[in-house]
Amino acid sequence: MASRRARPLWYYVAALNLALLVPALAVTIVLLHHWVAAERSRLENTTVAINSEALETVDCFLASQIAMLQALATSPALEAGDLERFGRQAAELSALQGLTIILRDTAGQEHVNTQVPRGSPLPSLPRVTDRAVAATGKPTVSDLLIGAVSRQPEVRAGVPVRLRGEIAYVLSASFPAARIGALLSEAGIAPPYSASVTDRTGTIIGRSVATDQATGRPLPGFAETVGDSGSWTGSNLLGVPVFGTYRRSALSGWIVTVGIEQQALQAPLYASLWISIPILIGLGLTALAASGLMARRILLAKNRLAEGARALADGRVIDAPVTPVREVNEIGATLAAASVRLHQQAEALQAANRELETRVAARTRELAEKEALLTMTLDAMDQGLVMVDARGVVAVTNRRFAEILDLDPAFLASRPTDEAMSRALDEAGAFASAGPAVRAGLQADDLAPPDARCERVRPNGQVLEVTSTATADGGILRIYTDVTARRKAEAALAEAHRIAQVARREAEAGSAAKSEFLATMSHEIRTPLTGVLGYADLLTAQSDLAPEHRRLVGRIRSAGEALLTIVDDVLDFSKIEAGEITLDPKPFSPAQLVDEALALVRAAADRKQLALSARIDPAIPERLVGDVGRLRQVLLNLLNNAVKFTRAGSVTVTVACEPAGPDAQDCPIRICVTDTGIGIPEEKRGRLFQRFSQVDGSIQRHYEGTGLGLAISRRLIEAMNGRIDVDSRAGEGSTFWFALKLAKVPLEPSKEAEETASPAWPGMLARILLADDNAINREIVRRLLESVGHAVEVVEDGAAAIQAVRNAAYDLVLMDVQMPGTDGLTATRRIRMLPGAPARVPIIALTANVLPSQVAEFRAAGMDDHIGKPFKREDLFAAVARWCGAGYAPRGRLRAATRG
Q: Which of 848, 874, 844, 855 is nearest to 768 (CA)?
A: 844
DSSP 8-state secondary structure symbol assigned to residue 383: S
- Edge-first strand listing for the sheet containing 463-470: 394-397, 384-388, 476-482, 463-470, 452-457
Total domain count, the chain: 4
Per residue in 85-96, pLDDT (tens digit) is: 888 888 888 888
Residue range 30-38: mean pLDDT, rounded = 75
CA separation for the pair 388, 478 (Å, rounded):
8
**Do 573 and 691 form a contact (C-beta atoms < 8 A)?**
yes
Q: Place 350 in a pLDDT band, splitting at 50, 70 and 90.
A: confident
pLDDT, position 191: 82
Residues 499 and 609 in one domain: no
pLDDT at 523 > cutoff 90: no
Which among 267, 297, 314 is the end of a domain? 267
Q: Place 770 in a pLDDT band, splitting at 50, 70 and 90.
A: very high
Residues 533 and 614 in one domain: no
Asked if the structure places residue 298 within a domain, the reply is no
Distance of CA 107 to the CA centre of its chain: 24
Residues 676 and 602 in one domain: yes
Residues 717 and 777 in one domain: no
Asked if the structure places residue 41 within a domain, the reply is yes
Q: Place 565 in a pLDDT band, splitting at 50, 70 and 90.
A: low
pLDDT, position 567: 64
Residues 460 and 441 in one domain: yes
Asked if the structure places residue 114 within a domain, the reply is yes
CA separation for the pair 626, 192 (Å, rounded):
107
**CA geometry: angle 604, 607, 613, nearest 5 deg:** 65
pLDDT at 769 > cutoff 90: yes
Cis-peptide, bond into residue 192, ω within 30° of zero: yes
pLDDT at 897 > cutoff 50: no
Per residue in 442-476, pLDDT (tens digit) is: 444 444 555 567 777 777 778 888 888 888 887 88
Crossing angle for the helix pair 547-578 and 484-540, nearest 10 degrees?
Answer: 170
Which among 221, 241, 267 is the end of a domain? 267
**Do 519 and 854 form a contact (C-beta atoms < 8 A)?**
yes
Q: What is the mean pLDDT of the chain?
A: 78
Asked if the structure places residue 243 within a domain, the reply is yes
Q: Place 507 in a pLDDT band, splitting at 50, 70 and 90.
A: low
pLDDT at 756 > cutoff 60: no
Q: How far, CA to CA in Å, does 99 sit from each of 76, 369, 619, 743? A: 22, 13, 91, 84
111-115, 265-269, 733-737, range with the lowest pLDDT: 265-269
Beta-bridged to residue 865, according to DSSP, are: 844
Q: How far, CA to CA in Å, does 60 sit from each of 57, 180, 664, 810, 847? A: 5, 12, 82, 102, 93
Mode of pairing for the β-strands spanning 255-261 and 241-248? antiparallel
CA separation for the pair 330, 20 (Å, rounded):
11
Asked if the structure places residue 26 within a domain, the reply is yes
**Do 769 and 810 form a contact (C-beta atoms < 8 A)?**
yes
Q: Which residue has the higher pLDDT, 347 or 650?
A: 650
User: Domain range for residue 162?
Assistant: 7-267
pLDDT at 771 > cutoff 90: yes
pLDDT at 674 > cutoff 90: yes
CA separation for the pair 650, 659 (Å, rounded):
28
Residues 130 and 70 in one domain: yes
CA separation for the pair 679, 642 (Å, rounded):
10
Residue range 282-286: mean pLDDT, rounded = 68
Q: Which amino acid is at 329?
A: N
pLDDT, position 653: 93
Residues 592 and 510 in one domain: no
- CATH number, domain containing residue 564: 3.30.450.20
Torsion of CA 637, 642, 644, 648, to 10 degrees: -160
Per residue in 46-57, pLDDT (tens digit) is: 888 888 888 889
- Terminus-to-terminus CA distance in the chain, angstroms? 179
Per residue in 172-199, pLDDT (tens digit) is: 888 888 888 888 888 888 888 888 899 8
pLDDT at 610 > cutoff 60: yes
Q: How far, CA to CA in Å, does 576 sit from each of 331, 508, 628, 741? A: 121, 18, 18, 21
pLDDT at 580 > cutoff 70: no
Residue 470 CB contacts under 8 Å (≥ 6 apart), including other chains: 450, 451, 476, 477
pTM attached to this predicted model = 0.34
Asked if the structure places residue 320 within a domain, the reply is no
- CATH number, domain containing residue 591: 3.30.565.10
Per residue in 407-434, pLDDT (tens digit) is: 888 887 788 887 887 777 777 666 555 5
pLDDT, position 835: 93
pLDDT at 693 > cutoff 60: no
Residues 511 and 423 in one domain: yes
CA separation for the pair 680, 729 (Å, rounded):
6
Which among 233, 267, 301 is the end of a domain? 267
Residues 598 and 571 in one domain: no
Q: Which residue has the higher pLDDT, 154 or 297?
A: 154
Q: Place 823 in a pLDDT band, splitting at 50, 70 and 90.
A: very high
Q: Place 652 in a pLDDT band, splitting at 50, 70 and 90.
A: very high
**Do 404 and 480 form a contact (C-beta atoms < 8 A)?**
yes
Asked if the structure places residue 297 within a domain, the reply is no
Question: Coil, strand or helix: which one is 83?
Answer: helix
120-129, 510-519, 597-606, 857-866, range with the lowest pLDDT: 510-519
**Do 65 and 141 form a contact (C-beta atoms < 8 A)?**
no
- CATH number, domain containing residue 801: 3.40.50.2300
Q: 4-13, 525-534, 792-801: which has the highest mean pLDDT?
A: 792-801
CA separation for the pair 189, 244 (Å, rounded):
14
**Do 414 and 407 form a contact (C-beta atoms < 8 A)?**
no
Percentage of the chain modeled with pLDDT above 70: 77
CA separation for the pair 683, 900 (Å, rounded):
81
Residues 734 and 848 in one domain: no
Residues 608 and 509 in one domain: no
pLDDT, position 98: 80
Beta-bridged to residue 612, according to DSSP, are: 651
Asked if the structure places residue 237 within a domain, the reply is yes
CA separation for the pair 456, 451 (Å, rounded):
16
Per residue in 225-251, pLDDT (tens digit) is: 778 888 878 787 777 888 888 889 888
CA separation for the pair 573, 647 (Å, rounded):
30
Query: Is residue 67 packed enough to be buried (19+ CB in 10 Å), middle (13-18) or exposed (0-12)?
Result: middle
What is the three-state SS of 131-191?
Answer: HHHHHHCCCEECCCEECCCCCCEEEEEEEEEEECCEEEEEEEEEEECHHHHHHHHHCCCCC
Q: Which of 511, 508, 448 is nearest to 480 (CA)?
A: 448
CA separation for the pair 398, 381 (Å, rounded):
8
**Do 241 and 234 form a contact (C-beta atoms < 8 A)?**
yes
Residues 515 and 636 in one domain: no
Q: How far, CA to CA in Å, does 685 sit from each of 262, 307, 689, 727? A: 101, 128, 9, 9
In whole angstroms, how large is the CA radius of gyration of the chain? 57
Residue range 491-503: mean pLDDT, rounded = 85
Q: Place 860 in a pLDDT band, splitting at 50, 70 and 90.
A: very high
